[in-house]
Amino acid sequence: MTITVKSANLEADASAKISELIGSVDKLPTPPTVYHQITRVLDDPGASAFDIASILAEDAAMTAKILRLSNSAYYGLRKDISSVKQAVVVIGIEGVKSLVLAASIIDAFGNGNKRDSEYTDLFWRHSLAVAFMAKIIARSIKSNDFPFHELSFSAGILHDIGKLIFSSYLNEHHVDVLKFAGDNLVAEIVAENQIIGSNHSEAGFFLADKWSLPATLKNCIALHHHPSLVPDEGEVLPVIHLANYLVHYSDSLNAQGYCEQTTALNEDVWDFLDIPRDKQEDFLEELNAQFGKAETFLRLVS
């Protein structure tokens, strides 16, 4: 079965429902300003590491986070990175950009719903695992395309962000969703549609659109459960669909109690990405190794 949804434009009824639900929230997170500043600089072909460092120099807290993440075991660098300029040179402009976006999103939501800190912790562990898995898959199909790797990582971080909107700002609905999903052994998105009349993919798209995030990221948020496998749409969305599925069904990384059910995998994704199905175990083994190095990321969101 090949799904050919070609865009993440929400249908009118769904868009109206989301606008009604979320538009009334007084304190939705503000757009990731530093990320947008860096994106604008990157649109200039003459942009340099110095230009990126100059922007981050105005935000001491963000600079500290980028240096902590750059020096984490995940990157496995042999010598410490002591400046943002050095980080740009060593892990690349796109690498720093993806870290800025990740740190900005984490800052925007703080620690999420403090009334359900366990769910928030499991949410970020799942999101990070999908981001790492997406990067692993991306490297397997385009080994030297670093912007593609980092865009896949960013999309993995963001793919479920609508769940955090529900958890943080529509908590009573969210509690009912989790109960319905658990009682009926259905995916959270199914429970959301039943209880709320909308779902986290639509909510996440709504926020990403307000934040003016790139179309590729918005598509991954809106369609990661039901991807379009259309060549013109690119490969990041199918990568996120596969990464999300594999993380859900990884025995060692599937977070206990966090959305144990998920929607079915579109099996055509393997052929679309030209990945042999027997690579699944290799991907999971590599994810286990990488996730073991992710303590710096996890501390950042705890």
| Interval 223-237: pLDDT, tens | 999 887 766 668 999
In this prediction, residue 115 carries a pLDDT of 63
Q: Which of 57, 88, 109 is the last residue of a domain?
A: 109
For 163-201, the pLDDT digits (tens) are: 998 988 888 889 999 999 989 988 899 999 999 888 999
Say whether both 96 and 220 belong to one domain: no
Amino acid at 225: H
Q: Provide the number of structural domains found in the chain.
A: 2
Specify the range with the lowest mean pLDDT, choosing from 78-82, 258-262, 274-278, 288-292.
Answer: 258-262
What is the structure's pLDDT at 4?
39
Q: Are residues 100 and 146 in the same domain?
A: no
Residues 39 and 15 in one domain: no
Q: Are residues 137 and 147 in the same domain?
A: yes
pLDDT category of residue 110 using cuts at 50, 70 and 90 = low
Query: What is the predicted pLDDT for the residue at 263?
Result: 73
As a whole number, the mean pLDDT across the chain is 82
Q: Tell me: pLDDT of 112 over 70.
A: no
Average of per-residue pLDDT across 20-44 = 75
Final residue before a domain boundary, out of 74, 109, 144: 109
Please give the pLDDT value at position 6: 41
Both 124 and 95 in one domain: the answer is no
* CATH classification of the domain holding 7: 1.10.3210.10
* Contact indicator for 78, 37 with CB cutoff of 8 Å: no
> Do residues 246 and 284 lie in contact, with contact meaning Cβ atoms separated by under 8 Å?
yes
**Same-domain pairing of 234 and 144:** yes
Range of the structural domain that residue 70 is part of? 31-109
| pTM of the model as a whole | 0.86
The rounded distance, in Å, linking the Cα atoms of 265 and 197 is 23
* Predicted confidence (pLDDT) at residue 141 exceeds the cutoff of 50: yes
Kindly state whether residues 147 and 167 are assigned to the same domain: yes
Are 210 and 82 found together in one domain? no
- DSSP-based three-state secondary structure for 212: coil
Cβ-contact 28, 96 below 8 angstroms: no
- Please say whether the beta carbons of 248 and 262 come within 8 A: yes
155 and 44 in a common domain: no
